[in-house]
Structure 1
Amino acid sequence: MSDQRATRRISVFDTTLRDGEQAPANAMNPEQKLDMALRIEALGVDSVEAGFPASSPSDFEATRLISKELTSARFATFSRTTRRDVETAVEAGGTVNHEVQMVATGSDLHLKYKRGITREQSVAEVVDTVAFARSLGVEHISVGIEDATRSEDGFLQALTESAVEAGATCVIIADTSGCTTPDQYGTLIGKIRRWAPAPIRLSTHCHDDFGLSLANALAGIEAGADEVQATLGGIGERAGNTALEELAGVLAYKSDHLKVHTDIDISAMYAAYTALRGIIRLEQPRNKAIFGTYAFGTTAGIHQQGILANPETYEYVEPSRFGRERSLLIGRHSGRAVLRHLLEQLGVEVDDERLHELYRVHIAERAGGDCEDLDIVKARLALELGRTLVPAS
């Protein structure tokens, strides 16, 4: 275990209930959002984004419910850079323990084709909306620069410095289209850090269109970011966001190397993810890191032989640390090592000829494209060999 006193703490902003929920097929009602907010808070995140109160009565109600129930995490809301959106967010959740997050238009592409405004107008509305939030008594104000990774330095500097001067306490650098690479994103975060020095919080918001959201977030941390915005299972727009479990997992294992850590309880994340999948009817992927059905399972004989001798041979990431269990499954790629393992459990010794025959009948010729649980094969072997299975204690 690493000495956390020697590493820098990274805060975690969970946006499962906002960016994650706004993606197709992920809708949740206010009561479901409250349930998930409490589960996510229990993981040890610093902020839970409740939603976009001005967008719908449902998000307004979810914000109202969540704002009253969180006890250890701050709740956050999403707004455009308009006074009315911020006013609605405050109406829904008040100002106590409330992080008002507003999105600034950050690239010429978005200015021209989405907003129809100039750079100067974008900066002006950020300044006005931040000042308005301050006037309402909001203490935690975040300005998220949308499409920052396709912007230009002069414009980004103007947005950043103007937001901070107006009273923003956090600047979020959004790779909205998931277009950047770790070296590019790290360089950008380094620039923003110079324009918004501590104690201003600097947060990453990365999308996974190229499968680089986690790598980009880590590059951002190494360049000086204080916080990562993430979602359970990486759900979110298009290919999704930085996955909370992947971020927490890497920092749990690599904190000494990266010199950073989080306070996330990695052992409880899978239960929270399972609850989320139930609510939004999300099928469990087979091969997703940490949360995939077979993230800790294998049918490969070479792997099984190593794992049976010492799990560390093929398991750098330990399933038990994430509330998961190892699964060795029987398929056509399984070898004789797992068969010997089952026979040992049954207390049976056979010669090589008999072993070969049992392998042919119970593994090689039975296993097609699907795989079988060890207990099923073990029961079949016991039946053929006349052994009585002893129930697991």
Structure 2
Amino acid sequence: MEVFYMNKYRTSLLASTSFAFIFWGIVGTIGPLAASGSIIGNLNHTGKLIFLLIGSLVVPAGNLSMGILADVIGRKKVFLITMSFYTIGIIVISLSYNVLPLLLGLILAEFGVGGEEPSSLSLVAENTDANKRPFWLTILTNMDNIGSALMAGLFFIVVNNLQDRIVLLIGSLLLILFIVLLRRVIPESQMWLKETGNADESQIEREKIDLKDDGESISQPRLISSFIFLGVIAVSQYLTFGLMAYVLAPIEFPSSSEDDVIIFVALLGSSVAGFIAAPLISRGRKNYTLLSFLFGTVTMVAIFIMVPYLTNMLIFLPLLFANMFMSEFAYASRSVLEPELYGTRSRSSLIGLTRLWPMIAYPIFTFYTSSLNLSDFLLINVILWAMGLCASVYWFYFGIETKNAN
């Protein structure tokens, strides 16, 4: 398939981004696992909330600050800063046996991985052929789920605390080493260089990655329309994913063994879905986005209806798997549309700003839903899914199709 055509520079870009998202998934799962009692023992209700919320408080700072910086100094240079943060962070996490050091490590690591997201999405979108862009954006961002599933599986299968930490530290440092080596040769964004007046350098980078398809030129939609639409579907998808995958287990299910299974199944559903979503979203964004939020809402309603039977894991886990499957479909819409609907000069900043919406809302909803019974908790998720569905209906009728668009 043409989509898999590679050379040294393309391979380094896609592989380094893939490893970086896997690492983000690992870091993003540490807080929920700590809340479930799998890392430093059982915590009280306040302690659980702190570890559930720490990522959503720190990642936005990385998203926005590094996103803005990437539009000023370039995509590649930002990685030097972000990699430093999460390397130190993961070392501190691996050596932590009580709350404060673990929190410090998480703050450093979450800031680092959050800071890479806008620049990574921008760089891949800007250095990839238009007809291959949605496929790779979906596959690469799905690596986040795979990293999370690996982390949840590690703490579910390996019950020895010391072994967990050794595997986490060695595995993470090897992953970071691969990222560093690959990023030594990745090209800077040819679009960003052109937009900032470096046409000659842009042409050199373009030749390295052998771009063949710039896509069709279309009129950019009104910025405010794109910003509101992307913000609403971001809140819908991010909150429902976080609440169902991470918050539901430690808050609503008392057993730590059940917690780990629920988190693992949720992440497994998302991971599987990403590989199916990639070729589907390449066929067009508007239909895909609408159907993703429609079926996501349907699966959430099904879980809500089955509330009396959800203590039976044989009933609950397949329903959760299906819902998280659709959540990944919805996330693919976000990951592709965000870089496509924003212009090059401010793309990274606006992606970071858009992702502030759900990050601000998440701690509020986590705190609020933590005191609800299971039925009310699930009803909130139904409403959030429906909100995303309404936004996707609006975009279906009034938005633009960005398939193969420049």
TM-score (norm 1): 0.23
Whichever structure has more strand as a proportion of its residues is: 1
TM-score (norm 2): 0.23
- The structure with more radius of gyration: 1
